[in-house]
Amino acid sequence: MNKVFVLDFGSQYTQLIARRVRELGVYAEIHPYNVSLSFLKKESPQALVLSGGPQSVYEKGAPSVSPEIFNLGFPVLGICYGLQLLAHLLGGEVVPGKKREYGLAELKVIDQSGLLHDLNKISPVWMSHGDQVKKVPPGFAISGVTVNTKAAVIENKNRKIFGVQFHPEVAHTAEGKKILRNFLFRLAKLKPDWSMGNFVETKVKEIKEKVGQAKVIAGLSGGVDSLVASLLVHRAIGQRLLCVFVDNGLLRKGQYEADLETFRKRYGLKVIAVKAADRFINKLKGVISPERKRKIIGRTFIEIFEEQAKKFQDVQFLAQGTIYPDVIESAPVKGPSATIKSHHNVGGLPARLPFKLIEPLRELFKDEVRQVGFELGVDREFLEQHPFPGPGLAVRIVGEVTPERLAILREADEILLQEVKKAALYDKLWQAFAVLLPVRSVGVMGDQRTYQQVVVLRLVQSLDGMTANWYPASAEFLSKVASRIVNEVAGVNRVVYDITTKPPATIEWE
């Protein structure tokens, strides 16, 4: 299978480059800019893309590569900082621009025989830079210009080294895909041979080779990523994969039992079931702070996993369902763009476990993981389930988590979900769930005064969970859910609807 390496210099768009290349049918992986030459030689990708980045190539300590990289015969495409870097290293000159150029510019095509083949004479492109290539390196020609940027596109066709000052990977660059296509297929002579089917095949082969006759352990969370990663490993080594699935008592009604049965019967996985609800609930006794709840749950999960892992002496590997957003949102693992955010996620197990890691999905985005899952025969319903936070219902019980309050929330949540599905809303929503508040209010039921708990309904639409809109559910729907909850769930006498967007609120209440 052909592959392209994207070397990451810290651009916010690095991941998009990899994604676009894969959309064009070529497998792409992101690596830090300072990856070693020997690694590159060993892996021998069919082409390199140098990403953008926030720095200036002439600054001290700016990220760079060995100029030797350009002598290894890889076709290279430099984007923004990548273009400036290759110009700088190959004998050109990069200087601060007269003014920063940010936003849309018009690219005027001068030479259509290479990177700009088949482009319109004038084409909108997305710029985001402060520096400019003042002098192009020897052997390079300018094939596209904008009003403010003379060297908007530079090409050395003999050496197959190309650069664009703008970002072909973002949707604002109308013909960006065409440029990437020209680079991959016309100039680097790649074949589009990447599909989810052969991703599965390649990963299965890789895992087989890596694992040999050893055993692998994996944690299942009930979510999509850990199941898909486990199924890939399972396809490679069968019953030498041991999965651990912990019942933390914080899942939705019936979810643990249903998932356990599915993992075992539907997918044939060997699953060690650890019933630990009491252990979690005991540790959460009296805890109000949402952050402390998260930490306790995360730590307890890891303790249990470690205890289980110790029972199996011949296990050498740990498989994890880490996906690309986890990689960039967690500790700095890859290139410089890795350090933008630090994220809480209880799914991640500590690296100090005495196992080598297998993370077959770490280059993929969520929708790509779903496609891999689909290839592996995972049911659509499972793949398209709403996201569920690692700490589970504990972040939907504001205040103390007790068995009684958990029971109330589970019932209310189940009613909401039933009605959401009945009204054919499930697929329209990012999430739909109930929240239990730590307040009581007065009500009247029959002739009795009541003083009971309040349930919030939260139905949101979102593309990625970063921002969200509350869903304008019909009065009829809301009324049905509210009336079922107060009638069927003992201890609740009031239901309210959350009509806040994110931001300023978050999706979960915590």
**Residue numbers of the site for ligand XMP (CB under 6 A)?**
344-347, 387, 389-391, 431, 465, 502, 506-508
CB of 305 to ligand XMP, least distance (A): 16
80 is catalytic: yes
State which residue, 402 or 501, has the beta carbon closest to ligand XMP.
501
Which tokens belong to 377?
A: 């025969």
State which residue, 249 or 390, has the beta carbon closest to ligand XMP.
390
CB of 329 to ligand XMP, least distance (A): 11
CB of 395 to ligand XMP, least distance (A): 6
Q: What is residue 266's three-state secondary structure?
A: helix
Among 92, 22, 16, smallest CA distance to 52 is for 16
Could you tell me if 184 and 190 are in contact, meaning their C-beta atoms sit under 8 angstroms apart?
yes
Q: How far apart are CA 324 and CA 343, in angstroms?
A: 13
Among 213, 98, 114, smallest CA distance to 164 is for 114
State which residue, 25 or 325, has the beta carbon closest to ligand XMP.
325
Parallel, antiparallel, or unpaired for β 27-32 and 76-79? unpaired
CB of 482 to ligand XMP, least distance (A): 23
User: Which of the residues 80, 101, 175, 414 is marked catalytic?
Assistant: 80
Task: Order across the sheet with 47-50: list the strands.
Answer: 27-32, 3-8, 47-50, 76-79, 161-164, 153-156, 141-145, 93-109, 122-135
Could you tell me if 114 and 143 are in contact, meaning their C-beta atoms sit under 8 angstroms apart?
yes
CB of 406 to ligand XMP, least distance (A): 17
User: Which of the residues 101, 169, 368, 375 is marked catalytic?
Assistant: 169
Query: Alpha carbon of 342 to those of 56, 331, 459, 510: distances in Å?
Result: 25, 6, 27, 19
State which residue, 36 or 467, has the beta carbon closest to ligand XMP.
467
CB of 253 to ligand XMP, least distance (A): 17
Q: How far apart are CA 72 and CA 196, in angstroms?
A: 30
For Cα atoms 192, 196, 197, give the angle at the middle one, nearest 5 degrees.
95
State which residue, 113 or 467, has the beta carbon closest to ligand XMP.
467
CB of 255 to ligand XMP, least distance (A): 15
Amino acid at 340: I
Q: What is the CA radius of gyration of the chain?
A: 27
Query: Alpha carbon of 238 to those of 125, 231, 266, 319, 374: distances in Å?
Result: 49, 9, 14, 13, 19
The stretches of 250-343 forming alpha helices (DSSP H) are 255-261, 277-284, 290-310, 324-329
Q: How far apart are CA 322 and CA 159, in angstroms?
A: 37
State which residue, 176 or 321, has the beta carbon closest to ligand XMP.
321
243 is catalytic: no
Please classify residue 14 by burial: count the beta carbons closer than 10 Å to its beta carbon, then call 0-12 exposed, 13-18 middle and 19+ buried.
buried
169 is catalytic: yes
Among 255, 492, 243, 194, smallest CA distance to 393 is for 255
State which residue, 167 or 362, has the beta carbon closest to ligand XMP.
362
CB of 509 to ligand XMP, least distance (A): 8
User: Which of the residues 167, 234, 243, 363 is marked catalytic?
Assistant: 167
State which residue, 82 or 389, has the beta carbon closest to ligand XMP.
389
Task: Report, as residue numbers or ranges, the catalytic residues.
Answer: 80, 167, 169
